[in-house]
Amino acid sequence: MFRISTFHQIMKGLPRSSFDQLVKKHKADKYCKGFGPWQHLIAMVYAQLTNAEGLRPLEAGFNQHMAQHYHLNARCIRRATLADANETRSITVFNETANWLISKVAGTLGKQARDLVYLLDSTSITLKGREFDRWTMDHATRHTQGLKLHLLLDAKTQTPSWQTITAPNINDVLPARAVPLRAGALYVFDKGYCDYNWWRLIDQAQATFVTRFKRNANVVAEDVLEIPAEAAGTILSDELVRFKNKTPGGRRRNHYDKQLRRVTVARPGAAPLVFATNDLQSTALEI
């Protein structure tokens, strides 16, 4: 059961002064009148924590806790005002707030974390209906209408390290190029992030990656590595390969000219998985 006191404790993790600095930076309080960015943030976080399915239950739920509004630096909300704010205000200050919080978590855990493993993926957020169609239909795909969240997750601490939101028709590789790369870290992502030049940037940052080759990957095997006895039956092959085609698609030159590792892994009842990595040191089982 949701408790407003718990909400108050959660919001203590975001100092009002830090939020106000971001508001000032982006002039996010301009023309806000009596419903400022902090009040807007409080309302939207409350909606998420209570699983509010609309503005009416959000308004009723939040306003019944008037005694706690003082501690939250908030006041009663009106759904018409909130609806107008959601429609007209920029998300920039909230996006930067999320990234600020992520950086604080990373800073707290960074001294403890070794052998960093990051998982990169995207997920669709469906937004359909009268209030959404007018601004989501133009960017809808065959599968999704709404938004797409791109998230980099620290696998060890299970905390987000980077995020951004785009239209659903944006190729995953485009926002991925903005992912901060850390030397010594491992980045794991699926074959939707097939951009050999981006892979090269990861390698140049002295980081490693594990992903999957597409079926049409044009590579040539230069060496076959021995499969240890304990990996027999699981690892089907372990090879050092290199790209053959310097212009694989879209007439973009492929600048990844170093060796890669191709590890083929058996899957009972399914086609084998073919992994690509620039990690030439770890065992095939570790990959």
Digit-coded pLDDT (tens) for 215-224: 999 999 999 9
Which whole number is the average pLDDT over 177-206? Answer: 96
Assess whether pLDDT exceeds 90 at residue 209: yes
Assess whether pLDDT exceeds 60 at residue 1: no
Q: 188 φ, ψ to 5°?
A: -115, 130
Q: In whole numbers, what is the pLDDT of the chain averaged over residues?
A: 90
Q: 88 φ, ψ to 5°?
A: -110, -20
Amino acid at 236: L
Burial track 242-281 (b if 16+ CB lie within 10 A, e otherwise): ebeeeebeeeeebebeebbbbbebeeeeeeeebbbbbbee
Structure tokens at 211: 């992903």
The answer to whether 244 and 220 have CB atoms below 8 angstroms apart is: yes
What is the per-residue pLDDT for 112?
A: 46
Q: How far apart are CA 20 and CA 47, in angstroms?
A: 21
What is the per-residue pLDDT for 136?
A: 85
The answer to whether 240 and 223 have CB atoms below 8 angstroms apart is: yes
Of 163, 212, 166, give the one whose Cα is nearest residue 192. Answer: 212
Q: How far apart are CA 156 and CA 35, in angstroms?
A: 39
Q: Is 200 helix (H, G, I), strand (E, B) or coil?
A: helix
